[in-house]
Amino acid sequence: MKKQVLQLCALALFFAVGCGADKNSNEACLHETTMNLDTGNYDAVLASSCADSMHKGAAYFGKAGYSAKDVINRFSETSNSASTTSDLSTYMNTLTGQVTENTLTNIDLAKINYCTYIGGTIDPLTAQCTNTNQGVPNYQDAQFYISLVDAVKSLSLLKIVTDSTGLGTLSSCNINSTATPAVPDDADATSCALIASNNLSGLPVLTCSTGVSYSTTSDIVIQGKIGTYRGVTVTVTGTATTSCPAPALYKKLLYKDAANKYWLATTMSGENCTDGTTTWPCPIEQSGAPLDLVTAIDQSITSAISSMDQALPEGTTTADVQQSISDIKNDACGVDMICTSADLASYLQTIQ
């Protein structure tokens, strides 16, 4: 019995949780940090004196509303699923919830911390973690987590623009279609806005698909924001119901770049800004410029694939995750693996 007590005490000392262990020791601090991560006390992790960048990366990912375990499970599910439900439907309806500007900020901070842990920096042009030190302990783990974070960011960007209410759930309305299942109206609207960014011919109204059309404003300035925009109003017509009136109107924003080309702006669902006359969804800005949805998604999913290659995962689960991330790139960006507005418009049409 005495021997068993000593063994238990030694084990407790290893975890810094008793048997005379110094509660102020680094071991005790690390144990507390791990417990705080497990219980979702992420602010305590970020405030911890012993938390390293791996801990903080996980904490910021948690603050964004995600856990590595859940993301792995979802990606494994889509890789192995025989269901007729599309992968994008799973990502939009199950993996991603309510996405806000804070969500995206925390995702970025998670990536920065994982990258910092392996001695790397974020390349401002490609958004990839470069100049890393492969000799750092847990290097492959950090690259694996970076890959998860990047993949989730690409899906979160698509969710925040598509979720018209900002409540985290896509519309159940599909008034323009009698098919079951059908593409939700808010996904139709985002898809149409992406098409509009490539087709500003000056005509007052253009059609994207059956029951889905759009009109655009002239160039406008959004108060308190940088850059020049055009407002897009997407109209969805069809059979109205009590909960789904017709027609349905969805407002989107395009921003104009230095070459006078228009791109779908990443906007905050459920939050409105104004051009002085009309309200529009508020555009998100990063580094003093509007956040281009297509470029941001392309960079994130490309970086996810690059980091996964560095991670060299072993085992069935991680291989499934790698396949799912590659599938996102293939499905969202086409056979040439370069995302365009037209590619993302088609991708959104796979939501059911």
Q: Give me the residue spans of the domains in the chain.
A: 1-51
- With a CB cutoff of 8 Å and minimum separation 6, the contacts of 210 are 176, 177
How many residues does this entry show for the chain? Answer: 352
| pLDDT 10s digits, 27-62 | 999 999 999 999 999 999 999 999 999 999 999 999
Tokens of 78: 């889509």
pLDDT at 179: 74
Q: Strands of the chain (E only): list them.
A: 121-122, 129-130, 206-209, 212-220, 228-236, 248-256, 262-264, 267-274, 279-283, 285-286, 289-290
When pLDDT is averaged across residues 132-141 and rounded to a whole number, the result is 95
Contact predicate 57/68, CB 8 Å: no
State the distance between the two ends of the chain, measured CA to CA, in whole angstroms: 62
3-class secondary structure, 38: helix
pLDDT at 201: 55
pLDDT at 129: 97
When pLDDT is averaged across residues 189-218 and rounded to a whole number, the result is 85
pLDDT over 90, % of the chain: 74
Burial (CB count within 10 angstroms: exposed 0-12, middle 13-18, buried 19+), residue 277: exposed
| pLDDT 10s digits, 86-108 | 899 999 999 999 999 999 999 99
Q: What is the model's pTM?
A: 0.89
Backbone angles phi, psi at 233, to 5 degrees: -110, 115
When pLDDT is averaged across residues 173-186 and rounded to a whole number, the result is 87
| pLDDT 10s digits, 12-31 | 434 444 444 566 789 999 99
* Lowest-pLDDT range of 91-95, 318-322, 325-329: 318-322
pLDDT at 288: 86
3-class secondary structure, 25: coil
When pLDDT is averaged across residues 212-225 and rounded to a whole number, the result is 94
Per the DSSP assignment, residues forming a β-bridge with 90 are none
Mean pLDDT over all residues of the chain? 89
